[in-house]
Amino acid sequence: MADKGAGRAAAPPFEGFYQRPQLKRWLDALPRRFSCRAFSAPADLSQYSALEYAAGRAALPGVRLALSPRGARELVVSVPLFPRFEGLQAFAAILVKPGLKWGRLCAGMSGEALALEMAAMGLSGCFMTGNYRRDLARGLVKEGEEIAAVIPFGVPKDPEGARGRKRKPLAAFCADDPAKWPHWAYKAAEAMRSAPSAMNRQPWRLGFSGSTLSFSGNKPDSVDSGIALLHLECAAGSLPRAWSLARDGKTLLLRTEETDEPV
């Protein structure tokens, strides 16, 4: 980890939390990660147990990931013009302390870490921040928590569903030409490009200057921004690096000690 010397803006709460083996596992799972609405079976006992263990290690401070083996069918509300869910059983709830600074961002990062654990096990799920019955998820909520999102999950009906994933071209995210960036920054941007978001809008912007990659979203403290940031963190996980908040209070900056050539 890069030196957190004097004069540097306060680091965001996720800096240094995830370990290199975790980030490598999740980076390797990115190509298999997709939002799934049709399931052929629930997670088996060994998968479910492994997810419960992973949930405890993936949740950032102030966030808790809770699993329920049943109830997803009643939880989810169908939305006109969207594909219907099939084969629902289990779901995860992403719970956060009210008033937590960067709480929604941390919830998104934690939930996406769990979603990538699912992908690594051959499972899949779908983030939902709305269109679900909150009263049916409240059985997982402890005092001093609120629900940020839920993730119905199971064995995907189409194991190759990631092939149909639709994402914006990389240039659509970038304020400057990513072909002129060093390889680590380009790799991080490509990892972010695979991140899901509500309505598939992917409302993020990246830029590169000097040795720093900048990230901003239309709502910095949001589940969507947290999902995208975890993808960036996974891609940069093998490098000495430091995160900070820009003076605008909205843009997150990632700086590494890597000095390789542009792509």
pLDDT per residue as tens digits for the range 47-101: 999 999 999 999 999 999 999 999 999 999 987 777 789 999 999 999 999 999 9
Every domain range in the chain assigned CATH 3.40.109.10: 30-163
pLDDT in tens, 21-44: 999 999 999 999 999 999 999 999
Mean pLDDT of 146-153: 97
Cα–Cα distance measured from residue 193 to residue 109, given in angstroms and rounded to the nearest whole number:
15
Domain ranges in the chain with CATH number 3.40.109.30? 166-256
CB 225 within 8 A of CB 217: yes
Residue 75 CB partners (closer than 8 Å, separation 6+): 88, 91, 132, 133, 136, 137, 150, 152
Please, what is the average pLDDT of the chain? Answer: 91
Supply 11's token pair: 């680091």
Confidence of residue 259 (pLDDT cuts 50, 70, 90): low
pLDDT digits (tens, 9 = 90+) for 165-209: 888 889 999 989 999 999 999 999 999 999 988 877 889 999 999
Domain 30-163 adopts which CATH fold?
NADH Oxidase (3.40.109)
What pLDDT, on a 0 to 100 scale, did the predictor assign at position 33?
96
Handedness of CA 183, 172, 191, 1 (dihedral sign): positive
CA atoms within 13 A on the CB side of 38: 8
CATH of 166-256, one of 3.40.30.10, 3.30.10.20, 3.40.109.30, 3.40.50.2300: 3.40.109.30
Residue with the bigger pLDDT between 250 and 63: it is 63
Q: Which residues pair with 209 in a beta bridge?
A: 212
Q: How many residues does the chain have?
A: 263
State pTM to two decimals.
0.92
Q: Is the pLDDT of residue 5 over 70?
A: no
